Amino acid sequence: MVRIAVVVGSTRPGRRSRQVADWVMSRASSRGGADFEMLDLADYNLPLLDEPVPPSLGDYKHEHTKVWAQAVSRFDGFVFVTAEYNHSVPGVLKNALDFIYAEWNNKAAGFVSYGSAGGVRAVENLRLVAGELQMADVRAQVSLPFATDFENFTTFTPSEAAEEALEPLLDQLISWTTALKTIRG
């Protein structure tokens, strides 16, 4: 069975990403087809990228990088839960992606985003990064506008549209994750 991480892409105090990630985990775990696990960036103390050589060389010097690489390498695919900050991805998520390289290669990625415009601009940015990291991003995505999916703009309350959008994302992600596992050998 493939292993998919639900990545909590914000560490900001008062973040909404954990609420959204908990919802994704609950729905994903109950459907089967893959083993899902939470990967919360708040659990990793990654400084701003401080490796002396490019991550594509795989020569990690720092213990925090090695721990992060080991955590990511355990998974075959990823659901990135991301906020949108200033028309882009949170810095902590971009930094976590930048820290390592081979551990992301030939794995599938799906995106669940939130923000004033549903986080769609953050996902546009993440799709570019995923391509450079040799990740296959699935077409289906879930975008959660604060106005419709967050009570009082703070408490996550998924709309019916959000509930419906998550299923094709998970279907596509499991299919692509399973297919890509065969080429990683």
Write down the residue that tokens 């990511």 correspond to.
72
Q: What is the DSSP string of 37-101?
A: EEEEGGGS---S---SS-GGG----SHHHHHHHHHHHT-SEEEEEEE-BTTB--HHHHHHHHH-S
**Is pLDDT at 133 greater than 90 in this prediction?**
yes
> What are the residue boundaries of the structural domains of the chain, listed by start?
3-184
Per-residue pLDDT tens digits for 47-88? 999 999 999 999 999 999 999 999 999 999 999 999 999 999
Question: What is the chain's length?
Answer: 185
What percent of the chain is predicted at pLDDT more than 90? 95
C-alpha–C-alpha distance, residues 111 and 40, integer Å = 15
C-alpha–C-alpha distance, residues 82 and 149, integer Å = 14
**Is pLDDT at 185 greater than 90 in this prediction?**
no
C-alpha–C-alpha distance, residues 114 and 156, integer Å = 10
Per-residue pLDDT tens digits for 150-184? 999 889 999 999 999 999 999 999 999 999 999 98
C-alpha–C-alpha distance, residues 12 and 23, integer Å = 19
The b-or-e profile of 51-71 (16+ CB within 10 A means b, else e) is: beeebeeeebeeeebeebbeb
Identify which of 140, 142, 150, 147 has the alpha carbon closest to the alpha carbon of residue 175: 140
Per the CB < 8 A criterion, the answer to whether 173 and 110 are in contact is yes
As its CATH architecture, domain 3-184 has 3-Layer(aba) Sandwich (3.40)
pLDDT at 153 (0 to 100): 87
- Enclosing H/E stretch for 135: strand 135-145
Average pLDDT over residues 12-31: 95
